[in-house]
Amino acid sequence: MRRSAQNLPGQYAGRILNGNYSRQLKRHMARCIRHFQAFDELESPAIPYISAWDEKQNIIWYEFVSRRLTHLLGCDAPAAPEFFQRSVTERHIYSEREINGGHKEEILKNNEVVDRKSELREEVKQKGALEAVYKISTIAGRTLWLKDQAFLESFESDKIHISLGNLTLVTKEMEAEEDLKQAQKALRESEQKFREQAIHDTLTELYNTRYLYTALSALISESASKSEHFSLIFMDIDNFKNVVDTHGHLNASKTLQEIAATIKTALEHPSYGVAYGGDEFVLVLPGYQKHRALDMAEHIRSRINKTRYLQKSGLNIRVSASFGVSTYPDDADTLSGLLALADQAMFNVKERGKDSVCGISSNNRSVQGTTESNFFYDCKR
């Protein structure tokens, strides 16, 4: 018995019933369309559809499309596939694999959906089902969300795949979910900002002493386990009170900001700078033995000497700095010991005339079963 569109009520916009396809496929399609038409006439919130995909011609169309969908898209049934494809701005795909109690979600933009069309169809063929959510923009300028659930039927002899599906309008739910995601993102960013602020100095944006003590303790443990060296540089701006007295507290603070920028540009990860307090800084140099740390300190001292600060503000402030260097484990193997020795070396520079670099070193010797450390200085300039 030959099935055709004339046997169906309403407007038929498909191809199978009037095309060169098997009797089995036509009979099945006619039965499905009648059921879907009857359901659509109930005026339920559901939006039923039947789509077909021809593998030979690589085209997709609707065998049946709900009147409600054509109304939402603003088109007639034959134009519905093209209008729907053009209106999709996002496609959310949910995998069966659960992550943290929910399904994994993949979001594709419109161009990605087009680019991965063949891949996505192949996935649906393998699963035999489709579940996705579409964000669409209608020609009337409305943004809608449609949840798509469908089962796939394949007719291999005809090279035809049929999706028996249902669309559900979930705009309110998805907008609420988007709002929740935005709120969660803002919260994460706020928490990250708070964490950053908690370990950074507000003025210079270098690390603060809270971070220094925690990170330095961890570095000592790591260096001990790997038998590695690291060095500290204790740095103090010379005669910084003169900058304050001459240019005021605001310009003095801006000068510290620019000095911090000089420090940051001179250091490479994993080295970092710390605003230790006022016009004092500590530089942490993982992997640096004494000679490399002295060279780095001299490099920064020279750059500070050559830099003219607050030029954009019409000033031409010149400063110098004094540097003291200590090295783990050669000089000390504790946080307090390393800081104290670097500070001691820096004060040795201050006593010798400032604007220089000094590294403190130790010469350990045994005296009657005990170990004495005699410290001496290795100074540049």
Residue predicted with more confidence, 106 or 320: 320
Q: Which string of b and e fits 237-265 if b means at least 16 CB within 10 Å?
A: bbebeebbeebeeebbebbbebbbebbee
State the pLDDT at residue 379.
67
Question: Residues 236, 280: contact at Cβ < 8 Å?
Answer: yes
Residue predicted with more confidence, 105 or 64: 64
Question: Residues 345, 312: contact at Cβ < 8 Å?
Answer: no
Contacts of 111 (CB under 8 A, 6+ apart): none
User: Is there a cis peptide before residue 270, judged by omega within 30 degrees of 0?
Assistant: yes
d(CA 318, CA 295): 22
**Mean pLDDT, to the nearest integer, of 74-86?**
86
State the pLDDT at residue 372.
40
State the pLDDT at residue 118.
62
Residues of the chain with pLDDT > 70, as a percent, come to 84
Whether residue 228 is predicted with pLDDT greater than 90 in this model: the reply is: yes
**Mean pLDDT, to the nearest integer, of 99-108?**
56
Least confident span in 78-87, 88-97, 105-114, 236-245: 105-114
Whether residue 25 is predicted with pLDDT greater than 90 in this model: the reply is: yes
Residue predicted with more confidence, 49 or 107: 49
d(CA 289, CA 195): 31
The secondary structure of residue 14, as a DSSP letter, is -
- Confidence at 197, pLDDT banded by 50, 70, 90: confident
Tens of pLDDT, residues 288-316: 999 999 999 999 999 999 999 999 999 99
List the domains of the chain with CATH numbers. 5-176 (3.30.450.20), 200-380 (3.30.70.270)
Whether residue 99 is predicted with pLDDT greater than 50 in this model: the reply is: no
State the pLDDT at residue 339.
95
Tens of pLDDT, residues 236-276: 999 999 999 999 999 999 999 999 999 999 999 999 999 99
Using CB atoms within 10 Å of the CB of residue 150, give its burial: 0 to 12 exposed, 13 to 18 middle, 19+ buried: buried
State the pLDDT at residue 262.
97
State the pLDDT at residue 98.
44
